[in-house]
Amino acid sequence: MGIGTPYSGDNSLERNMRQVTNPYLPSWEYVPDGEPYVFGDRVYVYGSHDEFGGCVYCPGDYVCWSADASDLGSWRYEGVIYKKSRDPLNADLQGNLYAPDVAVGRDGRYYLYYVLSNRGTVSVAVCDTPAGEYRFLGHVHYPDGTLLGNGQGDEPQFDPGVLVEGENVYLYTGFCPRGDTRRHGAMCTVLESDMLTVKRPPVFVAPGCEYSNGTGYEGHAFFEAPSIRRFNGKYCFIYSSEKCHELCWAVSDSPTSGFRYMGVVISGCDMGLENGKGKDTPLFYCANNHGSIIEIGEKWYVFYHRHTNGTNYSRQGCLEKLDISEGGFIRQAEITSCGSVKPLRGEGEYPAYIACNIFGKEEQVYVPWSGWMDDRFAKITQRPLEKGESYIANICSGTTVGFKYFDIKGLKRISARTMGYARGKFIVSTSVGGKPVGEIPIGYYNVWADGEAEVNIPDGVRALYFTFEGEGHLQFSSFRLICG
């Protein structure tokens, strides 16, 4: 696939979809920590770059993807925009490119802010276009040349988020793990219009968990991933909380003080929502989260990421349309297969990797550290090729795989493509733990094979859940909705 060309899919299944699905990028692409922006008539997403089978966070160079603002189901690869070898502090390449942000300076150029994994300082690159080749510009520093993060009393910098307003550049950073009392919270540093020089030193704008008592942030204190937006006439601070799997929001009339905790924007495992198993029950295996909100065509969306491959290190970008009250309150979004944009067509074939819910008999919020070798938990993975086929592996008895939502009209049968040393059935339902609407037989298959069953599903917008009952371990590639 060439740079600047539309993505056509890695198989006929994906080519035929052309709908908004999660993940929104190709199944083999791993771009977490997404910061979305609308420049002109296109949406650009900037993030770090994981890889299939990765053993560390963010080993890849920065790449960029974009989509027409009116078509979030068709993304274009813009190529590598910045290589980690370009930073003079990274001559040995031991620093990975952690989560970045991009801001437009007063000169109209695009500034890329990032922190290397082995540094606590902020680097900046610049480009004349949103997705061109960025070149290293410098490091954020005090007027005397001391790098921000190295000054007396400075806390290490991490996960930069940037907002440019008039003569001021607001830089938000921070990382506050539980138990570390040396880290106090999210910081805001005001920079000069040169995008590099500290104008006002850091101040804390949201507390970490060790300092959240009495602040209103209890239980949802700042952990990492600061991002800043203007929303509903206020400054809206998006961040990953101490729970790791959720993105929260806080608002203020000032960019440097007074932020009030407002709530959860999204949880990577749908905790906090009525989901059929209780608000405190996870419906996906997750870990950290990072993203932000963006207005596209007068509608607001949240960009976030999910975990795959049974590890913390192969994360994929997802999005959901937000439900906002008339008073401007962001209601917690549920994770879906359709990005909450429009129900998927209730016919045709869909890849199993667009599942938004995967859970088993044993409740598990976070990706097990035992990872791939733990056969108790299913996981989204891919064939060990550069652009290999994606599927769900390691499904055992009691595993449920869910997809939301479909516009069902006249659905008669569902087939499921599976493989593996397993025997039993997929029990199909339209809600978590709901009444069965059909049973698909599953056999021992050495190659992908289809099982099919009649279903009884009333017309309407429905979720679909496949629960395996039987023996062995199963791989799940795709399913087909058959009408007429």
Confidence bin at 3 (pLDDT 50/70/90)? very low
Contacts of 40 (CB under 8 A, 6+ apart): none
Q: Which two tokens stand for residue 293?
A: 């909100």
What burial class does residue 31 get, using C-beta atoms within 10 Å of its C-beta: 0-12 exposed, 13-18 middle, 19+ buried? buried
pLDDT in tens, 334-383: 999 999 999 999 999 999 999 999 999 988 999 876 545 577 899 999 99
Catalytic residue among 33, 78, 159, 246: 33
Whole-number Å distance between alpha carbons of 250 and 217: 9
pTM assigned to the model: 0.95
Domain 20-331 has CATH 2.115.10.20: yes
pLDDT in tens, 77-96: 999 999 999 999 999 999 99
Whole-number Å distance between alpha carbons of 165 and 184: 26
Query: What is the per-residue DSSP string for 49-65?
Result: ---TT-SSS--SPEEEE
Q: What is the mean pLDDT of residues 433-446?
A: 96
Whole-number Å distance between alpha carbons of 452 and 79: 41
Residue 17 pLDDT: 54
Please list the residue range(s) of the chain that carry CATH number 2.60.120.260: 344-483
Contacts of 284 (CB under 8 A, 6+ apart): 268, 269, 270, 306, 335, 356, 357, 358, 359
Residue 373 pLDDT: 57
Whole-number Å distance between alpha carbons of 226 and 244: 13
Residue 8 pLDDT: 36
Catalytic residue among 29, 35, 101, 224: 224
CATH number corresponding to 344-483: 2.60.120.260
Q: What is the mean pLDDT of residues 232-249?
A: 98
Please list the residue range(s) of the chain that carry CATH number 2.115.10.20: 20-331
Residue 253 known to be catalytic? no
pLDDT in tens, 36-84: 999 999 999 999 999 998 999 999 999 999 999 999 999 999 999 999 9
pLDDT in tens, 372-423: 557 789 999 999 888 888 999 999 999 999 999 999 999 999 999 999 999 9
Residue 370 pLDDT: 54
Alpha helices in 291-450 (DSSP H): none
Dihedral over alpha carbons 338, 339, 343, 347 (to 10 degrees): -10
pLDDT in tens, 301-335: 999 999 999 999 999 999 999 999 999 999 999 99
Residue 4 pLDDT: 40
Q: Which of 352, 343, 347 is nearest to 482 (CA)?
A: 347
Q: Which residue has the higher pLDDT, 10 or 86?
A: 86
Residue 224 known to be catalytic? yes
For the four alpha carbons of 340, 247, 9 and 420, in that order, the dihedral sign comes to negative
pLDDT in tens, 249-291: 999 999 999 999 999 999 999 999 988 888 999 999 999 999 9
pLDDT in tens, 128-185: 999 999 999 999 999 999 999 999 999 999 999 999 999 999 999 999 999 999 999 9
Residue 56 pLDDT: 96
Q: Which of 477, 469, 348, 334 is nearest to 400 (CA)?
A: 469
